[in-house]
Structure 1
Amino acid sequence: MYKFIAVDVETANRGRHSICQIGLAYVASNGDMRTESYLIDPEERFSSFNVQLHGICPTQVAGAPAFPEVLGMLRHRLEQSILVQHSTFDKQAFDMACHAYGIPHLNSEWINSVTIARKAWPEFKGNGGHGLANLKSELGLVFHHHDAEEDARAAAEVVLLAEERSGLDFLTLGRPKSQQKRA
């Protein structure tokens, strides 16, 4: 089991269910991290805006598995860990893709690293904010934005840096006070 798994997705078009890449950053209790990425055939059209944003095009996912197959491979480990996302987009994308394919939603707890970053660095409010692009600049993170594997790693690094800065664990930083005793 991991301390947490950071998750990020890229989509083929405006439909949040159109996942074409999943990136994961597995964080061990000692802070060690490994990452992986899966290209996914969204089984629908790509918009030029999304292709320009993340660089993934239909030819890159040709022959890749569809979402249900990839989720089938990942489900057990994702449901055994707390999942971290930077914003709420990724959970919504997973939920919408599960709905679109008629498969069960993940039974996982999701924590938002934006919430964690706001608590650790309140001074960024109004000064560029707590999005990954600004945190990249402010915290000196090195990653290629809008690559799901890179963004998952960056979200995980934000959480680890926030723990270091605040002296609090990510659950205390990320959960509402009413849920903090559930750990």
Structure 2
Amino acid sequence: MTFTAIDFETATSFHPCSVGIVTVENGVITDEFVTLIKPPNNVYSPFTIQVHGIYPRDTVNEKSFAQVYPEIKKRLQNKVVVAHNESFDRNVLIKSMALYGFDYQELNIGIRWECTVKIYKAKGLKPTKLSDCCRAMNIKLNHHEALSDARACAKLYLLK
């Protein structure tokens, strides 16, 4: 099993403020990457702050998505990509790339990613929030911390 798991935390709608990426090669985690990202104009929704606890003060001096993108690209390009609720994370990536003029097709990762929500729903698990899946599968999680979420997603995918 070789794949890359990703999780974005967002400041507003589809503007990321953090990304966690976990690379798995032959069933073993070989690389972990996490960084804060300064969203456009460093603007946050009070709701998203309540969810993940990241504030504008935390990202005011961080790199923009465009500056972080080379790290994301090298970890995702030509890989099987996995996310929990993949449509959310995929849309964050696609919309952020478009905002900065990057071509999603260049990543060669496909229109649909592997989705641990769909996998565990098909197994009959309810509800299928990341925290519920992790509790059911005995996976440690610091929910809404991007690297912890990506690592948990990778472990869920390995156990599918």
Q: TM-score, normalised by structure 1?
A: 0.78
Aligned length: 154
* SS at 2:140 equivalent: coil
1:22 aligned residue: 19
1:93 aligned residue: 92
Whether the aligned pair in 2 keeps the contact of 1:117 and 1:159 (CA below 8 Å) is no
C-alpha distance in 1, partners of 2:158/2:30?
11
Q: How does 1:121-132 map to 2 (within 5 A)?
A: 121-122=123-124, 124=125, 128-132=126-130
Tell me the amino acid that sits aligned with residue 75 of structure 2: R
Residues 102 and 30 (structure 1), Cα distance of their counterparts in 2 relative to 1, 3 Å cut: closer
1:55 aligned residue: 53
Q: Gaps (5+ residues) in structure 2?
A: none
Q: Gaps (5+ residues) in structure 1?
A: 163-183
Asked which structure has the greater CA Rg, the reply is: 1
2:109 aligned residue: 108
C-alpha distance in 2, partners of 1:94/1:57?
21
Whether the aligned pair in 1 keeps the contact of 2:23 and 2:75 (CA below 8 Å) is no
Q: Once superposed, which parts of structure 1, at least 4 consecutive aligned residues long, lie more than 6 Å away? A: none
2:3 aligned residue: 4
Please list the CA deviations of residues 100-155 of structure 1 after superposition, one character each: whole Å capped at 9, or x if unmatched: 22221243132112222234x22x2xxx3222121122111111111111100011
1:117 aligned residue: 120
* Greater CA drift, 89-98 or 74-83: 74-83
C-alpha distance in 2, partners of 1:152/1:32?
11
Please list the CA deviations of residues 60-90 of structure 1 after superposition, one character each: whole Å capped at 9, or x if unmatched: 1122111011112331331131110111100
Whether the aligned pair in 1 keeps the contact of 2:131 and 2:141 (CA below 8 Å) is no
C-alpha distance in 2, partners of 1:150/1:38?
12
C-alpha distance in 1, partners of 2:65/2:27?
31
Q: TM-score, normalised by structure 2?
A: 0.88
2:64 aligned residue: 66
Higher normalized strand content (fraction of residues): 2
The percentage of aligned residue pairs carrying the same residue is 29
Question: Is 1:156 the counterpart of 2:154 in the alignment?
Answer: yes
Say which of 38, 41, 46 aligns to 2:38.
41
